[in-house]
Amino acid sequence: MLKRLPLLIAALALAAASPTPDKPAPAKPQPAKAAPAAKPAGPKAVADKPAAPKPAAPKPAASGPFDARDPASLVALLATMDAKGEVSRTGDNDVAVKVTAANFSFGVQYVDCNAQGKACQAMAFSTGAEKRGATLVQLNAFNQTSISCRAFQDAAGRPHVMYAAILSSHDVRDEMRTHIGVWQGCLSTFGAFLSDPAAYLASAP
């Protein structure tokens, strides 16, 4: 009996190693095929993307000598500030400059100038309005609310506003820019006044 035991164990081992006919061995998995390489994307059409806006051209920088008493210096300065100035009239001792900007225009008068229209002693910014609702009493009351701006009425009843300044040979560009800034403030406050004189004066300091 003991002699037959190794033969029995060997037979059982062979039987276990042999596949059964009703259960086929699972198929070996096939190696996965590599995915085809993606084709490089072609260049996008330029029309798909709006063109970037061109940067605005820089304003010319103020340079060279500056003389606040010379109307030509104001004209050159205005060219750097989105405005255009041109001499519209030259008198015996005064010069008138017409200024145009994007939404408005006004005049500048130089007085007490020399024979060449330079070395002027003072200047006045001024403009008139077509709206004539304000009375003389209200115009005078407006003058009492402002140190720099002066309102008046011409012979035709048209209201005007003015800002005047004394000029010196020592004035530099920044001082002229300050005068222009004060004048812009006059335009703003006078416009608000003309829109409703009574309401403006009621709330004015």
Looking from the CA of 165 toward its CB, the CA atoms found within 13 Å total 18
Strand 94-100 relative to strand 105-111: parallel, antiparallel, unpaired? antiparallel
Sign of the Cα torsion 155, 158, 163, 167 reads negative
Domains and CATH numbers, the chain: 71-203 (3.30.1460.70)
What is residue 20's predicted lDDT score, i.e. its pLDDT? 41
Answer yes or no: pTM beyond 0.85.
Answer: no
What is residue 80's predicted lDDT score, i.e. its pLDDT? 94
Low-confidence ranges of the chain (pLDDT < 70): 1-63
98, amino acid identity: K
- Please choose, from the candidates 128, 119, 155, 152, the residue with its C-alpha nearest in 3D space to the C-alpha of residue 138: 152
What is residue 25's predicted lDDT score, i.e. its pLDDT? 47
